[in-house]
Each structure stands twice: as C-alpha cells, then as structure tokens.
C-alpha cells in the first residue's frame, strides 16, 4: 500500500530529513584521511541523538550501526570499521533520523584528497542523475519516468553500471514504504505519482559493470569488478509541477568546500 502524506506530515518528514542533512554536513566538516569509518559513525549517532532524534538505521533488520559507510568499490550498506581512510578514497555516507514519528533519509559521497578525473566524473554524473530523477518526480508522472531519467543519463550517456538489486523507496512512518523506486526502467511504467507521495531517490552508480556481490556480513554490497561506485540520495515529496526536496545538500557542499581534506571540483 502507498501512503500519501498530509502537509503537516510532510513538514515533520522535512524536519527529520534536514537533521540528516545537518548530520552529513557535520561529517563533511571533520572527515579526513586517517579517520576511521567507525569514528564517523559514532560522531553521526551523537549528533542525531543530541538533536532529539534516533538513528533510523541502527538495529533496523539487525543492522548494527547508525550509518551505512561504503568506501570505494562498496556500493551501499557498508559496515563502519577500524580501517583508517586514505587519500584518494571515496566514501558514501548514508544515514537516517527518526523524529516526531517520521523518518528522514539521505546520502552523500565524499572524496578524500586527490582523486582521478575519472572518479570525479563518476561523482558528478551520479549527483546530476539524482536531480534529473527528481525533475520527473511530479504528480501525473510514473515511477518509471524517474527511473528512466537516471538510467538514460548514467548508463546510456556515460556507460556506467546502474545497480539493479537496490532501489529507492517510499518513506514516512516507516523507513521503507511503497513504492520501490528503481534507478533503471521504462518511461510511463510503474506506480502513478500523486501529490503527497514522499520517496527517497538514490542513484547507486558503478564506474564499471552493474553487477554486484555481497560480503560475508550479509550487508555490504560491492561492485563485481572492483571499480568504484557512488551514491547520492534525497528525500522528496511529489507535488504538481515541481518536486519538493525535503533534504538539503547546500550545507553539506559548503562544509565540503571548507574542508581542505576533501576534493571539490572548481
């Protein structure tokens, strides 16, 4: 069943989503080579709890951490660990917050230090594909219109691998609600988008092949060919004419630019 949100419920989801954005901005301000992903996870959990919320992911279906932190060839759902991050790593941080009965969800991929032009392009294309998908998230369209826009740009134009096994999703009182929002598909297919539908759109794009495999932890998804992957995610509300983006990258991008340990494209 698809649950449509009232305006009041959308505002509560916005509050949770903006807290997630602030959490990611906090991560952007401190992340650096030598830091471990478990340290990032602990910082994020403290930040969320200090702002009166609960981490959405922690203990969700047995996931033991606040953040999914996926480095280089890890696509999503990476377990935080004690391995120090290194110059040249790309780090996807995916996090959720639950407050006032509603979840917020967002993800951002950071690049530490010096990266190649090829990796820089992967990040730029993945982020752009997210916004191209959001452009199609308007009342009267269908889920497949979002999916097609992402796939057309990332896969057909740039020949990247668009992951099939993992999708975006509805969001609200539950972390995962209907409908599923794939990053590939046909225009005009899938559930019809109606005003008040809140979804998380999250392109997961591989530099090489689209195929993935799971590590022994049962969660971490990695690219089959070992090439890097990128992941960006916004929580949005479908509206007439233009989607309402409930999360926010502006503070993240500002913190990213201010952090000398992070790569940002001029």
pLDDT tens per residue, range 187-200:
999 999 999 999 99
Q: What are the tokens at 78?
A: 């990476």
pLDDT tens per residue, range 61-114:
999 999 999 999 999 999 999 999 999 999 999 999 999 999 999 999 999 999
Spatial contact of 190 and 147, defined as CB atoms under 8 Å apart? yes
* 20 phi, psi to nearest 5 deg: -60, -45
Please give the residue that has the higher pLDDT: either 188 or 265: 188
**Gap between the Cα atoms of 181 and 85, Å rounded:** 31
Mapping DSSP onto H, E and C, the string for 60-92 reads HHHCCCCEEEEECCEEECCCCCCCECCCCCEEE
* Average pLDDT of the residues in 7-12: 98
pLDDT tens per residue, range 40-62:
999 999 999 999 999 999 999 99
pLDDT tens per residue, range 122-158:
999 999 999 999 999 999 999 999 999 999 999 999 9
Indicate the pLDDT class of residue 266, thresholds 50, 70 and 90.
low
CA atoms within 13 A on the CB side of 165: 15
**Gap between the Cα atoms of 28 and 48, Å rounded:** 15
> 201, 204, 169, 162: which is closest to 184 by C-alpha?
162
Spatial contact of 194 and 139, defined as CB atoms under 8 Å apart? yes
Spatial contact of 105 and 78, defined as CB atoms under 8 Å apart? no
Sign of the dihedral defined by the CA atoms of residues 156, 223, 32, 246, in that order: positive
Spatial contact of 28 and 260, defined as CB atoms under 8 Å apart? no
Domains and CATH numbers, the chain: 7-258 (3.90.230.10)
Rounded (5°) CA angle 224-229-249: 155
Q: What are the tokens at 117?
A: 């032009």
DSSP type of residue 5: P
- Residues present in the chain in total: 266
Spatial contact of 138 and 193, defined as CB atoms under 8 Å apart? yes
Mean pLDDT of the chain: 97
- Look-up of token digits 């996870």: 41
Q: In 10 A of CB 226, how many CB atoms? A: 11
Q: Is 18 helix (H, G, I), strand (E, B) or coil?
A: helix
Residue 261 has pLDDT above 90, yes or no: yes
């Amino acid at each position: 069943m698809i649950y449509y949100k009232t305006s009041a419920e959308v505002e509560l989801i916005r509050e949770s989503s903006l807290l997630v954005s602030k959490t990611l901005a906090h991560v952007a301000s401190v992340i650096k080579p030598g830091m471990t992903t478990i340290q990032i996870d602990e910082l994020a959990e403290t930040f969320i709890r200090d702002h009166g919320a609960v981490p959405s992911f922690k203990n969700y279906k047995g996931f033991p951490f606040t953040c999914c932190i996926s480095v280089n060839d890890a696509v999503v759902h990476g377990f935080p660990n004690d391995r120090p991050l290194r110059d040249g790593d790309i780090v996807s941080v995916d996090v959720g917050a639950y407050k006032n009965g509603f979840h917020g969800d967002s993800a951002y991929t950071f690049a530490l230090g010096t990266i190649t032009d090829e990796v820089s392009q992967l990040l730029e294309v993945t982020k752009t594909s997210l916004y191209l998908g959001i452009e199609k998230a308007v009342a009267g369209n269908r889920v497949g219109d979002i999916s097609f826009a992402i796939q057309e740009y990332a896969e057909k134009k740039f020949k990247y691998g668009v992951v099939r096994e993992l999708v975006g999703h509805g969001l609200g009182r539950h972390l995962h609600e209907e409908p599923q929002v794939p990053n590939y598909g046909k225009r005009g297919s899938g559930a019809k988008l109606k005003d008040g539908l809140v979804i998380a759109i999250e392109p997961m794009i591989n530099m090489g092949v689209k195929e993935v495999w799971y590590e022994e932890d049962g969660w971490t998804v990695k690219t089959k060919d070992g090439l890097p992957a990128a992941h960006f995610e916004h929580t949005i509300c479908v509206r007439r004419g233009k989607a309402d983006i409930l999360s926010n990258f502006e503070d993240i991008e500002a913190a990213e630019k201010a952090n000398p340990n992070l790569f940002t494209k001029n």
